[in-house]
Amino acid sequence: MKLIFLGGLAEVGRNMFCLESERDIIVVDCGVGFPQEEQLGIDLVLPDISYLREHKDKVRAIFITHGHEDHIGALPYLIPDLAPVPVYATRLTLGLIGAKLDDRKVRSKVEMIELDPDSDTTYKTGDFTVEPFRVCHSIPDAVGFAIDTPAGLIVHTSDFKLDATPIDGRTTDFAKIERFRQRGVHLLISDCVHIEAKGRTPSEAVIGETYEEVFAQAEGRIIVATFASLIARIQQIIDVAGRNGRRVATLGRSLDQNVRVALELGFLTDPERVLVDAKEAALMPDHQVVYIVTGSQGEPNAALARIAVDEHQKIHVGKGDVVLISATPVPGNEETVSETIDNLYRRGAAVVFSSTEGRVHVSGHAAREELRTMLELVHPE
């Protein structure tokens, strides 16, 4: 057996690894990386798949763990080189992938197969048998994989945390993990992004407390900047806005697309009908509106950065407006995020972010005690 990491190891993003036997190759995840400061003019960083191109006749399938950009974002660009290889993913993840493939007009090249992590269904492809199991992360419908290989059983956690109160109510499937342990796990491949953080990562549910406080006190418009794929975070904004008599509009192409897909598939609900079009929101009184926008990482072309320099067509912030940055900077983005915050202050807006008050963001990744728990649960050789 060969394990070949084409990205995601010793870096943030660009997740992609391959398992190769004598006859077959399967790929797990196909994500983008984000450019460093010195990579001028570059929008996305793709994994180098020259090895897979050379061995295309052995590539049997691509299995996707969840719908974040750093796990699915490279598919529209790389899948034509590997077609007609099938893509396996859970329902929401397939929906997000499908929208991306449609954008690049390559959906017809891909057979998409839905994984069912709530049953004991396994998926055999060549020398490998794959069984998905649910994990909690900062996007719904995330899974890890148990992979039977000619050399033994591998458990791949993907990105996870052990959240006891996830927004969608779906906790990590400890029963399946226990069954894998009983079979004997040869190798564990684990998320370790937050190994430096002591204790446990707080539940996503605690963010709602900060939202309640900010929404109750704000007199003008509220603008919440977060990642476009944080469906659970978007759900909390919708729920809190409904309780505070506000309507919600989204700004940002990826955000609009993800919300549409999640609503269609039932992973996002709007029982009080608070979601409105941005044009409709612009005609409402300021105290009745919440905007969810992209740009929490200071990306220059995203909605928040354009709002901060007064170059956005629909929103011009000023005194009375509250901007809540519901994210922490990815390493390397600190300077651009700080510049965006400074520009918002200059326009008179109040800014709530990780250095001010309340908890505006929690990680989707396990901290040290959760990683210890996973290691004990799986007990790999």
Mean pLDDT estimate for the chain = 92
Task: Kindly report, residue by residue over 99-150, the tens digit of the pLDDT.
Answer: 999 999 999 989 999 999 999 999 999 999 999 999 999 899 999 999 999 9
Please enumerate in sequence order all residues whose Cβ is within 8 A of that of 183, keeping only pairs 6 or more positions apart, or say none.
Answer: 153
State residue 147's pLDDT score: 98
For the cut 90, the answer to whether the pLDDT of residue 200 exceeds it is: yes
Q: Where are the domains of the chain?
A: 2-198+365-378, 204-352
Percent of the chain with pLDDT over 70: 98
State residue 310's pLDDT score: 87
Of residues 287 and 252, more confidently modeled: 287
* Closest C-alpha to 139, from 191, 92, 189: 92
Q: What's the mean pLDDT in 257-282?
A: 93
State residue 225's pLDDT score: 92
When pLDDT is cut at 50, 70 and 90, the band that residue 355 belongs to is low
State residue 22's pLDDT score: 96
Task: Kindly report, residue by residue over 141-198, the tens digit of the pLDDT.
Answer: 999 999 999 999 999 999 999 999 888 889 999 999 999 999 999 999 999 999 999 9
State residue 335's pLDDT score: 83
CATH code of the domain made up of 204-352: 3.40.50.10710
**The pair of three-digit structure tokens given for residue 187, joined into one six-digit string:** 């190798």
For the cut 80, the answer to whether the pLDDT of residue 231 exceeds it is: yes
Domain 2-198+365-378 identical in fold to domain 204-352: no
State residue 356's pLDDT score: 63
CATH code of the domain made up of 2-198+365-378: 3.60.15.10
HSE toward the beta carbon, residue 129, CA cutoff 13 A? 8
Q: Which pairs with CB-CB distance under 8 Å and at least 24 residues apart come from 336-343?
A: 336/297, 336/298, 336/299, 336/300, 336/305, 337/296, 337/297, 337/298, 338/298, 339/298, 340/295, 340/298, 340/304, 340/305, 340/308, 341/308, 343/308, 343/309
Flag the least confident range among 184-188, 273-277, 299-303.
299-303
